[in-house]
Amino acid sequence: MRLNFYHFVFVGVLLIGRIDVTSMTPWLAPIVWEGTFDPTLIDSIYKQQNITIATTVFALGKYTRFLRDFLESAEQHYFVGFRMHCYLLTDQPEAVPDVKLGIERQLRVRTVPRMYRWQDITMGRMGMIAKLTENELATEADYIFCLDVDTKFYGHWSVEALGSLVGVIHPWFYNYQRNQFTYERRPESQAFIRAEEGDYYYAGGAFGGSVQEVHKLTRPFSEQQNIDAANSIEAVWHDESHLNKYFLYNKPTKVLSPEYLWRNINARTNEVTTIRFYIVNKNNDEVRSNF
């Protein structure tokens, strides 16, 4: 009841309008942009609640090099002033940097087996998140965000992003037409989306919601991937393709604009003037070469 009530309260404090962007989905879920909320007011409302936000991040192989920037920038910008537990899943616990965390902020390291293809990381993480949300997180947290590690926080990301089920519009496709989205188009795949279907193209690098809803989201992924594997097919964008299929039939209750996962710090547009979280520049072939 507490979560539903405060989702409603949030809609009531969307005080400022934007006429240059769409701030509501066709199913009446808010799309969060800079200028569509009062950060001081919404933070003050949620600070009255005893909420805990969990965050999962995977750092395997050479991706451990991104951990320090991720963790240090999170301390500056991500749910500052709220109880936040970061669950880091890695095959190299010895490579986790020593980062000083604030009050009521914890880093919990979980060792996972090494994987030999980067695709297996993206596909396998959903099963691991499903187990976390079914077990310890079911009683330890109210909300959870699942984020990529090769990223860095740059601006305010706080409780304005909370919702029962939250998707982030992909930074490359936010102003594209549906027929340009790179959904999985092969009917043989469990991630298949028909040409006439689809609302937005969501990023796989950031999604979240209540612990219960994220568990419902991640639970079927392993089964769907196993069915695809039995049919000798792998979704074109792996877990991101399956995520878009899930959001097609289970509409997010809140959608975050590309401010919440931007391309890189040097790319700006007329609509995206505030960058909160961005993908760092890197050589993909080099960092993926060890899988």
Catalytic residue among 240, 259, 271, 286: 240
Q: Which residues contact 71 (CB under 8 A, 6 or more apart)?
A: 86, 97, 99, 101, 107
Distance between CA atoms of residues 243 and 28, nearest Å: 20
**Beta strands 52-59; 83-90: pairing state:** parallel
Angle between helices 221-230 and 118-134 in degrees, nearest 10: 140
| 3-class DSSP assignment, residue 67 | helix
Identify whether the C-beta of residue 240 lies closer than 8 Å to the C-beta of residue 204: yes
Strand order in the sheet with 165-169: 31-32, 254-256, 165-169, 202-210, 143-147, 52-59, 83-90, 105-111
**Beta strands 202-210; 165-169: pairing state:** antiparallel
Classify residue 174 as exposed, middle or buried by CB count within 10 Å of its CB (0-12, 13-18, 19+). Answer: buried
The total of other beta-carbon atoms located within 10 Å of residue 103's CB is 6
Catalytic residue list contains 240: yes
Identify whether the C-beta of residue 272 lies closer than 8 Å to the C-beta of residue 285: no
Catalytic positions: 240
